[in-house]
Amino acid sequence: MSDRSADFLFKNLNEAQKDAVSAPLSNILVVAGAGTGKTRVLVSRIAYLVEVENLQPREILAVTFTNKAAKEMQERIASLIGYDKARLLWASTFHSVCLRILRAYSRYAGLLPGFCILDIDAQEAMLKSIMKEISYTGELKASDIASRISKYKEQRIRSKALAFGSSKFQEDIDFAKIYDIYERQCQSQNLVDFSELLLRTVELLEQNEAVRDLQHRRFKEILVDEFQDTNSLQFAFLKLITGRNSHIMVVGDDDQSIYGWRGADYTNMNNFKKDFAPVEVILLKENYRSTQNILDMANTLIEGGKERLLKKVLDGNCGIGDKVKILKCSSEYVEADFVAQTIKLLHAKGQSYDDMAVLYRTNQQSLLLEQRLSLMAIPFVIYGGQKFFERAEIQDALAYMRLLVNERDDQALRRIINVPPRRIGDKVVSQLSEIAYERGSSLFDALKLIIGYENDPAATKEIKTLARKLAVFSELMDKLKICKQTLNLPDLVRAVIELTGLVEYYKLKDQKASKGESDNQKHKNLEQLVSNAAMFNDEHTSQNLEESSEEIDPLLNFISTVTLSSSAELNEEGQEGGFVRLPQVNLMTIHSAKGLEFSTVFLVGFEKNLLPSYRAESSSRLGDNRAYEEERRLAYVGITRARENLFISYSLKRMLYGRLDSSGASNFLREIVNKYQSSKADQRPYKIEIPNTI
């Protein structure tokens, strides 16, 4: 890159951003407040490393938390350094990076090359099977156990390390037993869950010096986005993958740390300064998103925090703007009506529905809003709904594909052995399971064994009947194996959905559901899966794994990618499936809004017992402020999603969890109002209004 083009990298950057982009090769902590352009800094830094510092793109690792963010980052980098260079760098999520490492060194990690990833549904199905096997009668659900297993893995605790044998609590003893069986079954079936991807990689890097040294030589510069959201296991991974001659830049904001409930530890930002010393700290505080009135509300709120690592005040770059509207509503019905009417009015004035969002603390708050928006014919989409790759028809197709690449996958077989129906009921599956258990084999191996008795004169009538039923499924899988050897990825996916009968099966279900009108989506979703496979095939014709001499199976690569995609935070209905939709108002929890921005934001239910939550309030009264301060940061995230218009509402009474609550305005809101109480009305960043009652 010429000096002139290097200057172009800094053209639209402020001084602090320039400092971050052009900093000498070293360990760097960038503390980036909301809307301060952290993604621009990361992208520009990578371009600077390639074009000015002359690093090879393959020597750079960029890690973020969502597939959407990783893809966006790669596209923006490509616009600066060109596609041919950009495609060579690693820009992906923690899970995807770990998956690539495990694929390359599976035999050193105790895995067979064709291992598959357990999605959440398959994981819970396996746990339910184990719970049934041991006649579990406790109160824990499969989802509770899955969550607990994940937490233990994040703490790097295997089942063998649990000392629950002498526990006074039966629940602990039962959990330890289930966890142990679960780990053994995953190993025998060549499966890993999401937490296992990270834990297995950390263990590999710790225990295998040669593999660790290879990563150190490969990655010269490592960049991490949303660092405040990392957990202890992810932090351990970063320490292991960063070599003596490597450098790491992390970008984060402790004021936006809102995922403590799922293991995120914002103190990693302080730990980073200690464990990677010496560290240069760069502060970004110039906000390019929100008007000053909105920022004044956010700054006032977060200044009250007691656990801030680095105090900062966001400076606006978008003018003063309209005052924030604080709405004192007599009831949740008045609140919902006001939101719907205001959205209608703003849309009539030319604002797109897409650029408006309604944020709430809990999903339970959305029902009344949905009703009011529907009544006024306002289109909306709910984040947090079922994602494309989580739909039953898609999961069925993927289960067939999982079994094609990994015959040990018992969960996949259980799911689709009778889908579409082929007279293989629970009794047959139970018989199959018993034989597999007795022989210590997979269900598929047991199935093959039984089929061999179909024409055996010495076999019992019961065995022959069982063999005939299972032979139909076995013959189908044999046909699909031939297809796998001869067809490219999209044609193979089409063969799977057609030869299995899934398309016709779900087409009939669609017709029944719509009373003869074949306009439902299930069979169309299966067709969309073929399109997704075609797009994937175009984008991933080859994978840059120089360390591995083994070629990655395209089908296995596709399955792994979509399984990880199903765990992404973006829950917008239809978007992951590739369907085009009309503009819609966005309804979501504040947690789901992290990383997003909208021209107009309605922050509803800004009340005691909601924001902060009742649990956080209770913990605070007992002297534990951690949950309360995370709620404060959550409110801060909600406020800073707005660019131009912000409406904050609370209700004097609300039906909450089956009871009438009348707690009134949130303490957070009271803090803001109290600060400006002595100020003149025109100097306040907000104005309080009382919407008309119904």
Residues catalogued as catalytic: 38-39, 225-226, 256, 641
For residues 550 and 104, what is the distance between their CA atoms, to the nearest angstrom? 8
What angle do helix axes 443-451 and 426-439 make, rounded to 10 degrees? 100
Which of 131, 105, 183, 115 lies closest to 409 in space, CA to CA? 115
**Residue 283 backbone phi and psi in degrees, to 5:** -105, 125
- Show the beta-strand stretches assigned E in 245-383: 247-252, 279-284, 286-287, 315-316, 324-329, 356-360, 380-382
**For residue 34, what is the DSSP state?**
T
- Show the beta-strand stretches assigned E in 318-367: 324-329, 356-360
The number of helices, as runs of H, and strands, as runs of E, in the chain is 29, 19
| Residue 186 zone, left/alpha/beta (φ > 0; ψ -120 to 50; rest) | alpha
For residues 588 and 569, what is the distance between their CA atoms, to the nearest angstrom? 12
- Residue type at position 575: Q
List Cβ neighbours of 546 (8 Å cut-off, separation of 6 or more): 58
- Residue type at position 370: E
Residue 392, judged by CB atoms within 10 A of its CB (0-12, 13-18, 19+), counts as middle
Which of 328, 257, 362, 293 lies closest to 670 in space, CA to CA? 328
**Residue 255 backbone phi and psi in degrees, to 5:** -70, -15
Asked if 223 and 62 touch (Cβ cutoff 8 Å), the reply is yes
For residues 129 and 430, what is the distance between their CA atoms, to the nearest angstrom? 11
Which of 123, 142, 122 lies closest to 132 in space, CA to CA? 142
Asked if 173 and 208 touch (Cβ cutoff 8 Å), the reply is no
